[in-house]
Amino acid sequence: MPRGRGTMHSVNAPRPSVPRGRAARLAVPAAALAAVAGAFAYVGAVDPNEPGHYPACPLLRLTGLYCPGCGGLRSAHAVVHGDLLAALQANAPAVLGYAGLAVLWTVWVVRTVRGRPLRIDPPPALLWSLGALLLVFTVVRNLPFGGWLHP
């Protein structure tokens, strides 16, 4: 048989795509949800306001400065217990991040159910703006008049 003809497939030839069922497609988003739910359940059960349960923030311990994540565990604990005001007081950007990730996960699931891939392609201006906002938050919470932003 001449080379290149017949039914044999080349080693480098792409495999034909096999359509996956909805349950198989949802396995990864479900696993991500299970991991996040487990983490929130742990933080909800083990109070970060009590010393000794979690390691201290290295930046806070070494410099006395609050990083943008300081208060994030306390914020998550408050969210689990339904205390949105305490969560916002502990770390407002973290609460916004939790909400944003919940929306992103929902979009991921909807697109997965519809058989479409999740494309995350934020414009650079958005990423720079979010980074600038976090930087301003970090600087202000460490200034004398930013004490209301301390966790």
Predicted confidence (pLDDT) per residue in 113-126, tens digit: 988 888 889 999 99
Residue 71, CA distances (Å) to 28, 85, 122 in order: 29, 13, 27
Q: Across all residues in the chain, what is the average pLDDT? A: 86
- Average pLDDT for residues 55-60, to the nearest whole number? 89
Instruction: Give me the pLDDT at residue 70, please.
Output: 92
Q: Is residue 129 part of a domain?
A: no
Instruction: Note if the pTM is more than 0.95.
Output: no
Q: Is residue 138 part of a domain?
A: no
Which tokens go with 143? 């200034």
Q: Is residue 144 part of a domain?
A: no
CA 6/CA 32 separation, integer angstroms: 44
Instruction: Give me the pLDDT at residue 108, please.
Output: 93
pLDDT band at 18 (very low <50, low <70, confident <90, very high): very low
Q: Which domain holds residue 99?
A: 23-116
CA 118/CA 103 separation, integer angstroms: 13
- What is the total count of domains within the chain? 1
Q: Is residue 104 part of a domain?
A: yes
The total number of residues written for the chain in this structure: 151
- Average pLDDT for residues 66-94, to the nearest whole number? 94
Q: Is residue 61 part of a domain?
A: yes
Q: Is residue 102 part of a domain?
A: yes
Phi, psi of 26 (to 5 degrees): -85, 0
* Buried residues in 28-51 as b, exposed as e (16+ CB within 10 A): ebeeeeeeeeeeeeebeeeebeee
Q: Is residue 71 part of a domain?
A: yes
Asked if pLDDT for residue 102 goes beyond 90, the answer is yes
The 3-state DSSP class for residue 20 equals: coil
Q: Is residue 88 part of a domain?
A: yes
